[in-house]
Amino acid sequence: MLDFPVWKKVWFWGVALICAALALPSLFSLANAPWPSALPNAQVNLGLDLAGGSHILLEAEKGQVAQQRIENMEESVRARFRAASPGIAIGDISRTNGRLSFMLKDASQVDAARDELVNLTTGAGLTGQRDWDIRVEDGNRFILTPTQEGLDQATSDAMDSAIEVVRKRIDALGTREPTIIRQGDARIVVQVPGLDDPDALKQLIGQTAKLEFKMVDENAAPNDVANGIAPPGDEIVPYAEGSEVGGVSAIAVKRLGGIKGDQLTNAQQSFEQQTNRPVVSITFNQQGGAKFAELTQQNVGKRFAIILDGKVLSAPSINEPILGGSAQIAGSFSVESATQLAIALRSGALPVDLTVVEERTVGPDLGADSIKKGLIAMGVGSLLVIALMVGSYGRFGIYATFALIINVLMILGIMAQIGTTLTLPGIAGFVLTIGAAVDANVLIYERIREERKRGRRVFTSVENGYKEASRAIYDANITNFIAGVLLFAFGSGPVRGFAVVLIIGLFTSVFTGVAMTRMWVAGWLRAKRPADLTI
């Protein structure tokens, strides 16, 4: 075990030096010293508690999920019945009281309609229940009610989608290592370290960005629209602030048959050529572009409303068919608001509105104080450990000290390279690692002492010491590794930060404390051939 060929020495030193070099940008940054821009500069990300930043708690409106399910079911029922052969005509449709009801114009089609509706329902997760309850009353009236199991499943799916949308929007800001986790059934925790403008973040992730293009009902009576009375098949939609035209605050649009913005492939802030005002240029995918072209071809000379989050941005006339799948969204935008809208549209619409229910800002001064105290703790702890090791084991203690220093640098370098986040509990994990890192050396050195007391020769004592102690070291680190993995898998935020430092530290401490110190001890023994050991 004390035989180290050249290739193995090169391998050990190469791994250690490369990992240690990767830590240098982080050390320069912590010391506020300049780092050459020409060199790689991957640094350890500091968490919210160290770098400062924003903590926002978002809550979804669960009632909106139920309402959206009913609206989507109405569109699905209409499309399904139109495509049926023969077609199924319906009338007297209602979406009140949390359910969808409609009457068949031909009562003889009840069985055919039921078969079509059953195909629109699915199982709700693993509950064994359907997501919709279908009843027939008075011979030809269908009543579709979403089941609680279906609503719970829809809410869960909406929250999963909302987390992905929020993550995409925050990533678009160029922010590193945000924490976005689900809390309970309908809440999302967002923590963004180092964010300079928390209000912009709140505005961006709180915007639903549901984009719709709907035809304006030119025949709606202005007085009815002003009083909020929608003609059959229409809905009244208010203008966004600053977008009103001629003192009109709302317009009537066709409730069905428009185009939704979920088929966008790109959205960019740009400027209108004639007025140089900020606008958002959008591009549809092939299917969306075909729908948009068809809509504009069939309605030349009419107006269509561009609706964002339930408010009309503008209602221009279609002067000619808009082909090519591209369009511009105009409104009372600034460059900043147009850029934020473009980011929101690129990220996709939130499946449900999110409301900020809690907001906290952590100042960078508090984080800097935490870093300072953490570094002091690490420095004091390191000095005490080094003094104890050198005083107790002499030359072998010096080997353990070098291994400890390389171990700390390797942890920092690996964390910087894989882009993990260092939090306040992570610093605690660092300090803990310093103590745990020398445990392996203590076990080995004590074992060597025992071997010498038994009268074994120097080489045999060292070889047996490393061999026998390594088993206990590996067993202990395996159990710690399992604990760290469980912390990472089931923990969140700072707990996961602690787990990351712990797991990385386990590997690096075994590498430096066992493998590298054995290489150094073996080299010294072969070079000096001592007759006895002072350990």
Checking if the pLDDT of 13 tops 90, the result is yes
Half-sphere exposure of 281 (CA within 13 A, CB side): 9
Checking if the pLDDT of 414 tops 80, the result is yes
Q: How confident is the model at residue 331 (pLDDT cuts 50, 70, 90)?
A: low
Output 171 or 441, whichever has higher pLDDT. 441
Question: In percent, how much of the chain has pLDDT > 70?
Answer: 92
Output 198 or 313, whichever has higher pLDDT. 313
Read off the pLDDT of each residue in 102-123 and give the average, rounded to a whole number. 86
d(CA 466, CA 451): 11
Sign of CA dihedral 374, 379, 382, 388: negative
Q: Which of 9-18, 121-130, 420-429 has the highest mean pLDDT?
A: 9-18
Q: Which of 146-160, 174-188, 286-300, 347-361 has the highest mean pLDDT?
A: 146-160
Question: In percent, how much of the chain has pLDDT > 90?
Answer: 8
The one-letter amino acid at 464: N
Read off the pLDDT of each residue in 409-420 and give the average, rounded to a whole number. 87
Strand bridging mode 141-146 / 132-137? antiparallel
Read off the pLDDT of each residue in 289-301 and give the average, rounded to a whole number. 81
Output 53 or 160, whichever has higher pLDDT. 160
Contact 134, 115 (CB under 8 A): no
- What are the tens digits of pLDDT across the range 494-503? 777 788 888 9
Checking if the pLDDT of 251 tops 70, the result is yes
Q: Which of 91-95, 292-296, 448-452 has the highest mean pLDDT?
A: 448-452
The two structure tokens encoding residue 143: 């009543």
Runs of H (alpha helix) within 23-102: 24-30, 48-51, 62-83
pLDDT at 403: 92
Mean pLDDT over all residues of the chain? 81
Intra-chain end-to-end CA distance of the chain, in Å:
20
Q: How confident is the model at residue 482 (pLDDT cuts 50, 70, 90)?
A: very high
Q: Is the peptide bond before 5 cis (omega within 30 degrees of 0)?
A: no
Contact 214, 304 (CB under 8 A): yes
d(CA 254, CA 213): 10
Backbone angles phi, psi at 354, to 5 degrees: -115, 130
pLDDT at 364: 63
pLDDT at 284: 78
Q: How confident is the model at residue 399 (pLDDT cuts 50, 70, 90)?
A: very high
Backbone angles phi, psi at 321, to 5 degrees: -55, 135
Checking if the pLDDT of 254 tops 70, the result is yes
Helix H or strand E encompassing 157: helix 148-172
Backbone conformation region of residue 242, classed left if phi is above 0, alpha if psi is from -120 to 50, else beta: left
Read off the pLDDT of each residue in 390-416 and give the average, rounded to a whole number. 90
Name 409's Cβ contacts closer than 8 Å, sequence gap at least 6.
19, 20, 23
pLDDT at 125: 65
Q: How confident is the model at residue 520 (pLDDT cuts 50, 70, 90)?
A: very high
